[in-house]
Every structure is written in structure tokens, then in C-alpha cells.
């Protein structure tokens, strides 16, 4: 008998792995994040495992860390998401394709057009991960001398969302009549000019592409700070939530964000919350723990200190490595990430050196064990209302990906916790999300059938 609730599963490809040492693991494809044939294979493997979506992060600058650490980072080269994902669309049929795009540095019109194109090219499988970008070096690549402040970035993002979704609604569903006999390609009365003039953006419109197949690509957000949670509650349909704090932390986030959405008049069931989760699979728990230990051993100390510095927004190399973490001043770094690191240090009484090792590897939610113990944990999270599913982070590829699809997915399916077949063709259908109505052109009522 199928379970009352089922998990949603995304695959977090950043562009391949979240762990700094993934590319050094024995058997890993060290060039995986910049090898198109490998990436095609990974997408097809995810589709074999009936995953909801490929979730691709992005960087608009090389990471702002010392060269001693940067030279060890696989993130220094990766494909542009909105160039890669249309290629992957050609080799898959059901897998959702979620790309990250920044509201701080990229034009709203361009973002709207590129995601609408991806949705049409993929047959309705596009998703937009709306981010504000925390890396201050990105500002230097876009003609700015300093980064926009955290809360201002979120205010701009809220307006950006309104513009992009408004542009997606530029044309009614029936606007393109393509009447060969009369020579009329589209009905001008079924086109809307946005003519937006706001605090941050001025965009005339309309978008020069038909309305996306899904109405709008699925909107994804990863807000964890108060401003981020509010933006997620107002805009997101899928949330990449923080996994820190265990089930209790997951429940607090889940209840808070869904309650915010309800107060705004949104249906909380139309927001799917998926914490990021690193999964390491073994035939025994001890084998899985040994794999995790080997993975962590690939993190060089230079990488650990640099990663910790990014998370804290200050130079962690200046601290006594064998002392507790000192008080950290406010910065323009991601507040949620900074607060999670500080909380972890205080809770577990970690030294700076220990904290750097965690930051250089992965310090968030991890499930390390057998397919059965991992399924046990996922089931507990789901039925505790701590999540709607997970964004799975693979410890290395292809091995970690193959083990999850070949071993964990069948166990979840056996318990009725995960689909055995896709429900539809679009990402919205597979996530159980409604198709948004066009705000400018409500759907026309069908005429009543004549009495016979």
C-alpha cells in the first residue's frame, strides 16, 4: 500500500558536488563539472531514478578566497546553467531542470526570456532558483565597486520577481492565432505591455516569447534569514531549505515558512520544502562512515580556512586555530549561513580548526548509512512535517549518484515513499503544483454546449 505522503527528490548539482573534496575521492570523475558527456550521463541516471529535478547552483565570480585555497577548488570552472540545461533537455524527457539566476546582477528581461525559452525547449520542465548572490566579488564583475547590502538585495529581488512573472504573462494562451489565410500571426488584443517603473527596475515589455508551457517556470528559493524566509513565503513554490538543526530545526523552518505563506493567502501545500542532504551509502553503517571519513580527508586545511572565512564574512585565518571561535562581527555575508556556523561552533564547543574542517567539507544535514537506515531517516523527516522531500547532494560522482539511485531509491519505492513512475511531463505536474493563471488574461470560460 502506498504511503499517504511521498517524498520529492531534487539533485543538487553545484555544479556537481557540495563537498570540497569530492573530486579527489577514488573513482570520482575529477572533471565531472566541466565534461558534457559526464553531465548527460548523470541527468539520465537521475531520470532513471525518477528524480523530480536537477538543481544547478551558479557562481558569478570565482570564489573570493586566497589562491592557496582557490587552486584546490573544483568550482573555479563550470558551465553557465542556462547554457547547459537546454543541452540536458535534449537527452531527458521528465527530469526537471532548475537553474540559478541572480536578481542582483542580471537584467529581469533577459532572465524572463531565457527561462521561458528553457521551458519551451524542455517541454515544460524549467525552474528558476531565485538568488540575490552573496559573493561580494561578483559585484566587481558587473560594474559595481561594492556589493549591495543584504536586506536591500532582498527588496530588489521581490520587485524583480514581480517583473519577471509579469513578463511571462505578456501573451494570452490563445494570442498566437497563426491564421495563414488572413495573414494574422497573433492577436494584438491578447498581448500585454508591462510598462513597469519601480524602485529598482524599469522594464517596458512585452516579452518577445510566448507564455511558458507551465505558465511560469517553477520558482525556487533558498531563503534562510528572516528576509529570505519572507521572500520565499511570498514567491517560492519549491524551497531549498537549510538542513541544520536536525528534525527540530527542520520542523521550525517548515512551520514558520508555511505559516507565513498562509497569512499571505497562499496555499501552504503549493510550497514544497526540500532541505539539502548529503547522502553517503554503504552496505553497513560502518562502511558508510568510512567512506565519509575518506571523503573528509580530501579537504586541505587551506580550503577549510577559506571556506570558513566565506561563511563568516571575515578572515578566519587570523584566529587561534586551537581556540574556540571568538565573537564574530556583523558582515554583508549570508546571514543565515553565518548564523548556522556560529551556532554549530557554540553547540558542539568546536575549535576554529575543527570548524574549518567541517566548513571545508560539508557541515549541513547528512545521512550516512545503509539504504535502510537512510530511508528510515527520510521517512521520519517526512512524517514529522520537517520537509516535503530532499535536495540530495552526492558525495562524489558517479559512484555516490549510482549508489543512491540503485540502492536507496528502490528502498524508498518499496516503502511507498517515492514514485515508481513520473506523474506527468512537466515539472509542475510531477511536483503536484498548480499552473498559475495569467494575471492579465484570465482563462476564458468555455461556452455551454447547446441542448440537443
d(CA 25, CA 295): 6
- Name the most confidently modeled range: 126-135, 328-337, 428-437: 428-437
pLDDT of the residue at 17: 64
Q: Does the pLDDT of residue 451 top 50, yes or no?
A: no
Tell me, letter by letter, the H, E, C secondary structure of the chain: CCCCCCCEEEEEECCCCCCCCHHHCCCCCCCHHHCHHHHHHHHHHHHHCCCCEEEECCCCCCCCCCHHHHCCCHHHCCCCHHHHHHHHHCCCCCCEEEEEEECCCCCHHHHHHHHHHHHHHHCCCEEEEEECCCCHHHHHCCCCCCCCCHHHHHHHHHHHHHHHHHHHCCECCCCCCCECCCCECCCHHHECCCCEECCCCEECCCCCCCCCCCCCCEEEECCCCHHHHHHHHHHCCEEEECCCCHHHHHHHHHHHHHHHHHHCCCCHHHCEEEEEEEEEECCCHHHHHHHHHHHHHCCCHHHHHHHHHHHHCCCHHHCCCCCECCCCCCCCCCHHHHHHHHHHHHHHCCEHHHHHHHHHCCCCCEEEECHHHHHHHHHHHHHCCCCCEEEEECCCCCHHHHHHHHHHHHHHHHCCCCCCCCCCCCHHHHHCCCCCCCCCCCCCCCCCCCCC
User: Region 343-351: what's the mean pLDDT?
Assistant: 87
pLDDT of the residue at 2: 44
Q: Which of 192-206, 360-374, 426-440 has the weakest average pLDDT?
A: 360-374
Encode pLDDT of 233-242 as tens digits.
Answer: 999 999 999 8
pLDDT of the residue at 449: 46
Encode pLDDT of 41-70 as tens digits.
Answer: 999 999 999 999 999 988 787 777 778 777
pLDDT of the residue at 224: 85
Encode pLDDT of 183-206 as tens digits.
Answer: 999 999 999 999 999 999 999 999
Complete domains list, the chain, with CATH: 8-284+365-431 (3.20.20.30), 300-360 (no CATH)
d(CA 407, CA 402): 8
Encode pLDDT of 254-275 as tens digits.
Answer: 999 999 999 999 999 999 999 9
Encode pLDDT of 385-410 as tens digits.
Answer: 999 999 999 999 999 999 999 999 99
Q: Does the pLDDT of residue 145 top 80, yes or no?
A: no
pLDDT of the residue at 263: 98
Task: Identify the band that residue 332 occupies on the pLDDT scale cut at 50, 70 and 90.
Answer: low
> Cell triple for residue 213?
508551457
Amino acid at each position: 500500500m502506498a504511503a499517504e505522503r511521498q517524498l520529492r527528490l531534487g539533485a543538487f548539482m553545484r555544479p556537481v558536488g557540495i563537498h570540497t573534496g569530492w573530486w579527489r575521492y577514488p573513482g570520482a570523475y575529477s572533471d565531472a563539472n566541466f565534461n558534457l558527456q559526464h553531465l548527460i550521463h548523470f541527468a539520465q541516471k537521475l531520470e532513471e531514478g525518477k528524480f523530480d529535478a536537477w538543481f544547478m547552483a551558479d557562481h558569478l565570480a570565482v570564489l573570493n578566497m586566497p589562491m592557496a585555497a582557490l587552486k584546490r577548488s573544483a568550482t573555479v570552472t563550470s558551465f553557465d546553467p542556462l547554457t547547459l540545461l537546454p543541452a540536458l533537455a535534449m537527452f531527458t524527457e521528465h527530469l526537471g531542470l532548475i537553474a540559478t539566476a541572480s536578481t542582483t546582477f542580471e537584467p529581469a528581461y533577459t532572465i524572463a526570456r531565457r527561462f521561458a525559452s528553457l521551458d519551451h525547449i524542455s517541454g515544460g520542465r524549467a525552474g528558476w532558483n531565485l538568488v540575490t548572490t552573496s559573493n561580494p566579488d561578483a559585484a566587481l564583475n558587473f560594474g559595481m565597486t561594492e556589493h549591495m547590502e543584504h536586506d536591500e538585495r532582498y527588496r530588489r529581488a521581490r520587485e524583480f520577481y514581480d517583473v519577471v512573472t509579469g513578463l511571462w504573462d505578456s501573451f494570452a494562451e490563445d494570442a498566437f492565432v497563426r491564421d495563414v489565410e488572413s495573414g494574422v500571426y497573433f492577436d494584438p488584443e491578447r498581448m500585454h505591455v508591462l510598462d513597469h517603473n519601480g524602485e529598482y527596475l524599469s522594464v517596458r515589455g512585452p516579452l518577445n516569447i510566448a507564455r511558458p508551457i507551465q505558465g511560469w517556470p517553477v520558482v525556487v528559493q533558498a531563503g534562510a534569514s528572516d528576509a529570505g524566509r519572507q521572500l520565499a513565503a511570498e514567491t517560492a513554490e519549491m524551497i531549498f531549505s537549510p538542513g541544520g538543526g536536525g528534525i527540530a530545526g527542520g520542523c521550525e523552518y517548515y512551520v514558520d515558512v508555511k505559516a507565513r505563506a498562509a497569512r499571505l493567502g497562499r496555499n501552504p501545500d503549493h510550497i514544497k520544502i526540500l532541505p539539502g542532504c548529503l547522502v553517503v551509502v554503504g552496505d553497513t553503517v560502518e562502511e558508510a562512515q568510512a567512506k565519509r571519513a575518506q571523503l573528509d580527508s580530501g579537504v586541505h586545511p587551506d580550503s577549510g580556512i577559506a571556506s570558513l572565512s566565506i561563511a563568516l564574512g571575515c578572515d578566519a585565518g587570523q584566529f587561534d586555530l586551537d581556540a574556540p571561535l571568538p565573537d564574530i562581527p556583523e558582515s554583508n555575508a549570508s546571514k543565515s549561513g553565518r548564523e548556522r556556523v556560529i551556532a554549530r561552533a557554540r553547540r558542539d564547543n568546536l575549535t576554529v580548526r575543527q570548524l574549518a574542517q567541517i566548513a571545508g567539507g560539508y557541515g549541513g544535514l547528512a545521512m550516512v548509512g545503509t539504504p535502510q537506515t537512510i530511508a528510515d531517516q527520510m521517512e521520519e523527516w517526512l512524517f514529522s512535517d520537517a520537509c516535503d522531500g530532499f535536495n540530495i547532494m552526492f558525495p562524489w560522482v558517479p559512484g555516490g549518484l549510482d549508489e543512491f539511485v540503485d540502492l536507496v531509491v528502490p528502498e524508498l519505492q518499496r516503502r511507498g515513499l517515492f514514485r515508481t513512475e513520473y506523474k506527468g511531463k512537466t515539472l509542475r505536474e510531477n511536483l503536484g503544483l498548480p499552473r498559475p493563471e495569467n494575471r492579465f488574461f484570465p482563462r476564458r470560460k468555455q461556452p455551454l454546449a447547446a441542448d440537443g
